[in-house]
Amino acid sequence: MAEQESAVEQQPGGVKSSPPPQEEGIPAWMATFADMVTLLLCFFVLLLSFTNSDVTNFRKMMGSIQEALGVQYEDSAAFNTPYADTGFKERRSARENRAIVELGALLKKSIRSRDLSSKARVSSDKSGVMLRLSNKAMFAKGTTDLTPEAVKGLGVVIDGMKGKNFNLVIRGHTDGEKTESSLYSSNWELSAARAAACLRYILEHSDIQAKRMKAVGYASAKPILPSTTEANKRMNRRVEFFYIPPGRSKW
């Protein structure tokens, strides 16, 4: 009893006071420690963001994660893919490359069979196949009238469209000299009209759908060589038939 009375403090005026209640929650030192750990974590994350990551290894790692999770690649030609396949795009690219090589071989064979080797050239890359015919073999000067050799050349074009399900862009080009035609006031109109004449012939002499083709006139905007000599001008006067694999969103 004496010990309890001694634990109670006497205040002025003889009023007794009880000790303050203990604080609830975590100790103050723990809150300070948590703040410090959080700041250290932020500091090391910031350091990590400044480091140079290996992009190749990162892509390999992401490919493994995507394969494990069943992530599908987007394909504009497919509306519904019922299963995941990380090699889908790679296989499609391989098929396109094989089709491009086969089309190039088909066009070269058709050119030789029509005896147009000196008038036509075929080249290809991963974007498609280019068949180039000189204007001398296609049109009389300043006109859109097809020559007999142009008919043979367009037969080669039709063979390529029948053999493969490619789309076709027909491109008309001129040499930059002022046109002497009374019907066309500029090379833009002349080159576009020549491309359209080729497209019209293909539609009239085959069953190829119009939606697979389009005609464009470039005038002298895309020369092969500078139009400084007559030989270069002859090279620049041409009609190009560019075959693009199906499934491309823009062509």
The CATH code of the domain that includes 131 is 3.30.1330.60
Q: Domain span at residue 202?
A: 88-244
State the pTM of this model: 0.62
The pLDDT tens digits of the residues spanning 36-62 come to 889 888 888 887 777 655 656 666 666
Q: How far apart are CA 87 and CA 21, in angstroms?
A: 69
Q: How far apart are CA 90 and CA 75, in angstroms?
A: 11
Residue 60 vs residue 220, higher pLDDT: 220
Q: How far apart are CA 108 and CA 121, in angstroms?
A: 8
Assess whether pLDDT exceeds 70 at residue 10: no
**CA contacts within 13 A on the Cβ side of 114:** 22
In this structure, is residue 234 part of a structural domain? yes
Residue 162 to residues 44, 110, 198, 234, Cα–Cα distance (Å):
63, 12, 16, 30
In this structure, is residue 129 part of a structural domain? yes
In this structure, is residue 1 part of a structural domain? no
Query: Binning pLDDT at 50, 70 and 90, where does residue 15 land?
Result: low
Instruction: Taking residues 231-236, report their average pLDDT.
Output: 89
**CA contacts within 13 A on the Cβ side of 3:** 0
Residue 137 vs residue 17, higher pLDDT: 137
Q: What confidence score (pLDDT) does residue 228 get?
A: 87
In this structure, is residue 171 part of a structural domain? yes
Q: What confidence score (pLDDT) does residue 82 get?
A: 46
Assess whether pLDDT exceeds 70 at residue 81: no
Element (H, E) at 110: helix 88-113
Assess whether pLDDT exceeds 60 at residue 80: no
In this structure, is residue 23 part of a structural domain? no
In this structure, is residue 219 part of a structural domain? yes
Query: Binning pLDDT at 50, 70 and 90, where does residue 4 land?
Result: very low
Q: What confidence score (pLDDT) does residue 179 get?
A: 79
In this structure, is residue 139 part of a structural domain? yes
Q: How far apart are CA 61 and CA 83, in angstroms?
A: 21
Q: How many domains does the chain have?
A: 1
Q: What confidence score (pLDDT) does residue 12 get?
A: 55
The pLDDT tens digits of the residues spanning 145-172 come to 999 999 999 999 999 999 788 999 999 9
The pLDDT tens digits of the residues spanning 90-149 come to 667 788 889 999 999 999 999 999 999 989 999 998 889 999 998 888 998 788 999 999
Q: What confidence score (pLDDT) does residue 1 get?
A: 46
Please provide residue 142's backbone torsions phi and psi, each rounded to the nearest 5 degrees. 75, 10
- Find the range with the poorest average confidence among 79-93, 150-164, 181-195, 198-212: 79-93
In this structure, is residue 39 part of a structural domain? no
Burial class from Cβ neighbours inside 10 Å (0-12, 13-18, 19+) for residue 166 reads: buried
